[in-house]
Amino acid sequence: MPIEVLMPALSPTMTEGNLAKWHKKEGDPVKAGDVLAEIETDKATMEVEAIDEGTIGKIVVQEGAQGVKVNEVIALILEEGETAAAMSGPSAAKKAPEPPKTAPPAPTAQKPEPPPAATARAGGNGAAHGDRLFASPLAKRMAEQSGIDLGQLKGSGPQGRIVRADIEAALAKPGAGRGAPPAVKLPAVAPPAPVAPAPRLGASAFAKEQIVAAAGNLPYTEIPHTAMRRIIARRMVESKQNVPHFNLTVDCEIDALLKMRAELNAKSDAYKISVNDFVIRAVALTMHKVPRANASWSDEAVLQWKEVDVAVAVALDDGLITPIVKRADQKGLATIANEMKDLAARARSGKLKLDEFQGGTVSISNLGMYGIKDFNAVINPPHGCILAIGAGEQRPVVKKGALAIATVMSCTLSCDHRVVDGAVGAQWIAAFKTMIEDPLTMLL
């Protein structure tokens, strides 16, 4: 029975995705862990790995297809010994087009027989018709080497198939097997959570023809929306419509910070600390000083987080993504610098894992490298705050009653007023300014 490869739900908000690229073609052998395809999700381009071994029997959804629903069959993998004829069985029949609807037949007392697929899955312990066990070749070999009885296992793979993870789970039980080789754990994939349909943008989302006419029928080039761009648009509209923003701006003198940065970077080639790394560390430590800002809004209660996970906006060609420095308050500057360098590189190549860019308790958006003096960032729900960082530039300042020159960086905190009141936001931004201007406090 061919193994069905389904369109995965790679994020809680994903209901459909684009099949960006196939890494395998029909007839290619595959083994567990092989990259089969690249899926463009609402956040990034993610790789889909095989959980079983066999041969690509049929590619159902072609490369470049858009709007493929979650859990739709995208390919069929033939097991060892299976031929193309196996694809005419239940799996293929499942995808056959439905006949035209006609008037319903008159009711009869005869109960219809269950479809073949239902019969095949009735075993519940990996068994189907007769003595045949639905198990991957790898699982069969592992069971044989370990002395595991496949008939006693309940498969967790497609259609109840027994896969490697089921053998590993059996081996983990006391007294199981007879000296099985050490198992390699596969990353668990959570089942897709039900999500509500995305809301429409409303009356402001004019039809393309209306926009072209309003612009005077100028020539234009269409750039199709990616899944990422659609989600960014929806989330930003929702944020501005539903989250009551207020903004607080301070000017931070960073000459002492720049001096310390140069001294630290000169001590070792194992890291290269940036100004943004100091900002990440300062944001995390400030959340400890003012924990009421490390919170999110829910209809039942304000959720005050016990850990500080800092999400940092990274620009991509068609949008942005926010990789997360987890427990940033517990990490030193060198660790943050190396971790952020790795996260940013993998973000731009679409190699981030789901838990590396979803979540976080506060966001940072830094446009200083583009010469932007200051700006107001849009809050990324459910975060209660986002900090916008401008460029560090030399400006005239007054020190002890006299004019002087200092390197100044403008920072603006956008707050969700449902979670962070004005006084709390002001306390937070003041504590952040103190830490940035006295960077030794970050090393304590």
Strand pairing report for 362-366 and 385-399: parallel
Instruction: Quote the CA–CA distance of 186 and 396 in Å, as a whole number.
Output: 57
Longest alpha-carbon distance in the chain: 99
Q: Is the separation of the CB atoms in 328 and 284 below 8 Å? A: yes
What's the CA dihedral at 87, 88, 94, 100 to 10 degrees?
140
Location of structure tokens 């908000």: 13
Q: At what angle do helices 255-267 and 422-437 cross, to 10 degrees?
A: 50
Q: How far apart are CA 403 and CA 395, in angstroms?
A: 10
Ramachandran assignment for 306, one of left (phi > 0), alpha (psi -120 to 50 degrees), beta (any other): alpha
Q: Tokens in use for 205?
A: 């989302």
Is residue 417 part of the annotated active site? The answer reads: yes
Q: Which of 225, 288, 383, 417 is catalytic?
A: 417
Amino acid at 198: A
Catalytic site positions: 417
